[in-house]
């Protein structure tokens, strides 16, 4: 029988091969160690009926009897003994890993200046910051908006999220996922001006962000498109830009995360910006533990395995329902007063 992971890395396998009973396995290990439902319940701070029920469910799922109740507690069957030994080894390994991680977290300290756009910071970095701070309590993040979207040194950044790789012996650059951007209009805008098409753009309004004019790539297709219409407002702030689009001031080029808001509609205008993201760090700072931790953290938040930043844009597969409350808090509620 071929092992499921023989031809790929373990984390490339999307299934949890052990099945949907992690919790029951933990309870069973406690019962196997205590040799008693009551003592296991006390150790787990659970009720005895709950412990007994979870062990029965585990036996049903596995199709094997693992424990035998006795007058003095429980005994393990042969299959139960085998499973208990395996779980004990796994529990020991997890303890060692968590101990190493905690020790690493305790040694990582200092201030790290992280430069990332307002929208990416609001939607990805800030929501994950609580968990990050619990793991690395001695790292203080200085979260800044970029003054220059392509130059690490100009931003005085330790770590920066950029849409351009940066070269040089004093720069470390790591490719991440991809930022997908589409022309978007609100339902209110379309109600006022009609559906924008490539044949009627001269009668439509656009809003522009000066970030898109600083460099030709990857924004040239968008900049060519808006020349066919009328640019009514501009801003140098991406969050303000998103608010302009949200309030129906014109057609805007926004990241696909904005499509979680039901009032935002993607437009088929032949423009799809697929901008590669890079984590960029100063070489002399990446050697410090705190900067390395933040640099690696950016790979987790903006990596190609995250649905929003995958190489291929598949709108139907994006987890929009998880983004709607976050967008509502960031941009204001999408509901209008009657």
- Kindly report, residue by residue over 304-337, the tens digit of the pLDDT: 888 788 888 776 655 555 444 544 554 454 444 3
pLDDT of residue 334: 42
Domains 19-106 and 177-275 share a fold: no
Q: What angle do CA 46, 47, 50 make, to 5 degrees?
A: 95
The fold of 113-174+278-312 is D-Maltodextrin-Binding Protein; domain 2 (3.40.190)
Residue ranges per domain, the chain? 19-106, 113-174+278-312, 177-275
Which residues make Cβ contacts (< 8 Å) with residue 251, sequence separation at least 6?
A: 183, 184, 185, 189, 196, 204, 205, 206, 207, 226, 229, 245, 267
Q: Tell me the β-bridge partners of 231.
A: 206
The CATH fold assigned to 19-106 is Arc Repressor Mutant, subunit A (1.10.10)
The answer to whether the beta carbons of residues 158 and 279 sit under 8 Å apart is no
CA–CA dist 17, 33 (Å, integer): 25
| pLDDT under 50: residue ranges of the chain | 1-8, 322-324, 326-327, 330-331, 333-338
pTM score, whole prediction: 0.58
Question: What was the pLDDT predicted at 15?
Answer: 67
∠ at Cα 148 (146, 149), nearest 5°?
75
Q: Where are the beta strands (DSSP E) in 10-138?
A: 67-70, 73-76, 110-115
Give DSSP secondary structure letters for 271-289. Answer: --EEEEEEEEEEHHHHTSH
Pick the CATH number of 177-275 from 3.40.190.10, 2.60.120.10, 3.40.50.720, 1.10.3720.10: 3.40.190.10
pLDDT at residue 113, as a whole number: 93
What lies within 8 Å, CB to CB, of 230 at 6+ separation is: 202, 204, 205, 206
Tell me, what's the pLDDT at 122?
A: 80
Each as own residue / partner, the long-range contacts of residues 49-58 (CB below 8 Å, 24 or more positions apart, any chain) are: 51/27, 54/23, 54/24, 54/27, 54/28, 55/24, 55/27, 55/28, 55/31, 57/21, 57/24, 58/21, 58/24, 58/25, 58/27, 58/28
């Amino acid at each position: 029988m071929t092992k499921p992971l023989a031809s790929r890395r373990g984390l490339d396998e999307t299934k949890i091969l052990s099945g949907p009973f992690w919790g029951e396995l933990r309870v069973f290990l406690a019962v196997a160690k205590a040799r008693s439902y009551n003592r296991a319940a006390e150790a787990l701070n659970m009720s005895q009926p709950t412990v007994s029920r979870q062990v029965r469910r585990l036996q049903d799922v596995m199709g094997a009897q693992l424990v035998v109740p006795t007058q003095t507690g429980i005994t393990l069957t042969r299959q139960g003994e085998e499973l208990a030994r395996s779980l004990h080894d796994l529990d020991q390994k997890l303890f060692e890993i968590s101990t190493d991680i905690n020790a690493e977290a305790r040694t990582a300290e200092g201030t790290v200046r992280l430069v990332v756009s307002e929208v990416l910071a609001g939607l990805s970095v800030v929501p994950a910051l609580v968990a990050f701070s619990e793991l690395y309590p001695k790292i203080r993040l200085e979260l800044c908006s970029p003054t220059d979207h392509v130059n690490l040194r100009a931003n005085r950044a330790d770590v920066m999220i950029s849409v351009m790789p940066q070269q040089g012996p004093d720069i470390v650059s790591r490719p991440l996922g991809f930022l997908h951007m589409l022309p978007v209009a609100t339902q209110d805008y379309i109600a006022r001006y009609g559906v924008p098409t490539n044949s009627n753009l001269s009668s439509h309004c656009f809003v522009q962000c000066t970030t898109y004019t600083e460099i030709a790539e990857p924004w040239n297709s968008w900049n060519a498109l808006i020349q066919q219409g009328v640019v009514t407002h501009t801003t140098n702030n991406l969050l303000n830009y998103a608010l302009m689009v949200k309030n129906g001031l014109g057609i805007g080029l926004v990241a696909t995360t904005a499509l979680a808001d039901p009032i935002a509609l993607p437009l088929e205008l032949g423009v799809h910006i697929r901008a590669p993201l890079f984590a960029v760090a100063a070489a002399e700072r990446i050697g410090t533990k705190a900067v390395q931790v933040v640099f690696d953290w950016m790979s987790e938040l903006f990596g190609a395995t995250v649905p929003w930043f995958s190489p291929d844009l598949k709108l139907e597969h994006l987890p929009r329902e998880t983004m709607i409350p976050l967008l509502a808090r960031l941009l204001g509620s999408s509901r209008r007063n009657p």
